Structure 1
């Protein structure tokens, strides 16, 4: 088994991981179902730093996206409750539209990041997401 350096822009070798898959395939699959596959590969993979890093980053990214969705839901609920109780229909409509657009933007960014990270991992490259990479390093 091979270990690789997970520094910024590192390129992984094509050695297999403990899962029996090539490390680039295992790294890409770590993102497939977010935290679920991330945890699976963290448990299976004990030595391959490339796979462990991508699995950890998948978990961290999934948790961060979930937290953003929770915060947006709370804000949206508070806005709805306050405006509905106060009867501000025009303001309610505008803020509701704004929250919908914000949800859409977050969803598109999360989906784009998911596809991008899977693609780069499959190519054997390590992409470090600012802020989240530090948490992934601690987990990996």
Structure 2
């Protein structure tokens, strides 16, 4: 008798999990906004980070209504500006600046890959300071 109860409780728990998952899946699909580019919004957000400032500006100009894509486009642009400025500053510091620049380069690469992954997952992962600026300016006009 105990085995039967455990089996039925397990089946009921699986059914509840499936129901919850379906509800979450449908609510995520409802939140997606249409894109002018014709791409899925998570793919467009990922592409914002590929060529940084170029694709960021392209998607910022094209997508005037989609806050998710605009956020990632702006964050990619601001990240590029920060990294570019940091590279210039470190370039003027002999030896130590160059070594720091060499150490930071792989970190920036992995950060970009991480941001692409987060964008593709449909998450608005905010970097400190840069993410706040991107969120503030991503509101459609």
Does the alignment reach a TM-score above 0.5? yes
Dislocated runs of 4+, deviation >4 Å: 11-15
Q: Which residue of 1 aligns with 2:25?
A: none
Structure 2 unaligned runs (5+)? 1-27
In structure 1, list runs of 5 or more residues that go unmatched: 1-10, 77-95
Q: TM-score, normalised by structure 1?
A: 0.72
For CA contacts below 8 A with separation 6 or more, give which structure has more relative contact order. Answer: 1
Report the counterpart of residue 133 of structure 1 in structure 2: 131
Shift of 1:18: 1.1
Deviation string 1:53-96 (CA, Å, 9 cap, x unpaired) is 000000000000000000001122xxxxxxxxxxxxxxxxxxx2
**Contact 1:41–1:55 (CA<8 Å) still a contact in 2?**
yes
> Hey, what's the Cα distance between the residues in 1 that align with 2:101 and 2:136?
30
Choose between structure 1 and 2: higher helix proportion. 2
Give the alignment's TM-score, normalised by structure 2. 0.71
Choose 1 or 2 for highest CA Rg: 2
Report what 1:117 is aligned to: 115
Aligned-residue RMSD, C-alpha? 1.7
In the alignment, is the contact (CA less than 8 A) between 1:41 and 1:51 conserved in 2?
yes
